[in-house]
């Protein structure tokens, strides 16, 4: 059991640098999308009839601008989504799971078990951030492929990512719903 706890802890230790890397990637991707949107719009100039369907449509240009701005301001987007679903703009720390869901976590009396739970919650939070980023990219691709269901998939990733980012409060809500 100690070997598994050490492994989970090492994976959990990777989360902060990975989070910084994801934010940097989103900043670069957002800049690229904004520039690409401007270039496509400038290429077609003042003649709206030159906008064709697909990757050079007006919808694609607008999606590049909006999603590019969202990716540039990813921390604000995460805060806004947390505010929308949980009425708080910051995610709870994984160590707070024992306060938010005391009945579900009361069997975790061993320090080793507690550290595994905290490490797993950190991993779930980074998976939620990756899910939110994927949702934004799916929404960006939606105007290029109309009727493919990408808007629904993107929205699902955004909502699921938000729930995973604040998994501590979400587990507490589920516990209060089930236990009462």
41: left (phi over 0), alpha (psi -120 to 50) or beta: alpha
d(CA 87, CA 80): 9
CA angle 116, 113, 115 (to 5 degrees): 40
Rounded Cα distance, 77 and 170, in Å: 19
- Residue 92: predicted pLDDT: 87
The per-residue pLDDT for 164 is: 96
User: What pTM value is reported for the model?
Assistant: 0.88
For residues 58 and 112, give the distance between their C-alpha atoms in angstroms, rounded to a whole number: 55
Q: Which residues of the chain have pLDDT under 50?
A: none
Lookup: tokens for 87: 């009425």
The domains of the chain are located at 2-22+74-179
- pLDDT tens for each residue of 108-128: 777 778 888 889 999 999 999
Provide the percentage of residues in the chain whose pLDDT is more than 70: 92
pLDDT of residue 48: 61
Chain position carrying tokens 């719009």: 41
* Cβ count within 10 A of residue 178: 9
What is the predicted pLDDT for the residue at 1? 62
pLDDT value for 121: 92
Q: Can you give the pLDDT at residue 59?
A: 83
Please say whether the beta carbons of 89 and 82 come within 8 A: yes
């Amino acid at each position: 059991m100690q070997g598994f706890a050490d492994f989970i802890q090492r994976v959990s230790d990777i989360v902060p640098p990975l989070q910084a890397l994801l934010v940097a990637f989103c900043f670069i991707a957002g800049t690229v999308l904004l520039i690409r949107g401007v270039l496509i719009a400038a290429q077609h100039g003042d003649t709206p009839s030159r906008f064709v369907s697909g990757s050079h449509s007006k919808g694609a240009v607008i999606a590049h601008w909006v999603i590019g701005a969202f990716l540039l301001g990813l921390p604000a987007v995460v805060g806004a989504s947390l505010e929308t679903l949980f009425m708080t703009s910051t995610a709870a720390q994984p160590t707070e799971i024992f306060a938010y869901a005391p009945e579900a976590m009361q069997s975790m009396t061993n320090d080793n078990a507690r550290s595994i739970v905290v490490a797993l919650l950190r991993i779930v939070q980074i998976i939620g951030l990756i899910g939110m980023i994927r949702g934004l990219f799916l929404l960006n691709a939606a105007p290029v492929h109309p009727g493919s269901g990408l808007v629904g998939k993107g929205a699902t990733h955004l909502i699921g990512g938000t729930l995973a980012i604040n998994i501590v409060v979400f587990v507490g809500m589920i516990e209060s719903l089930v236990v009462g």
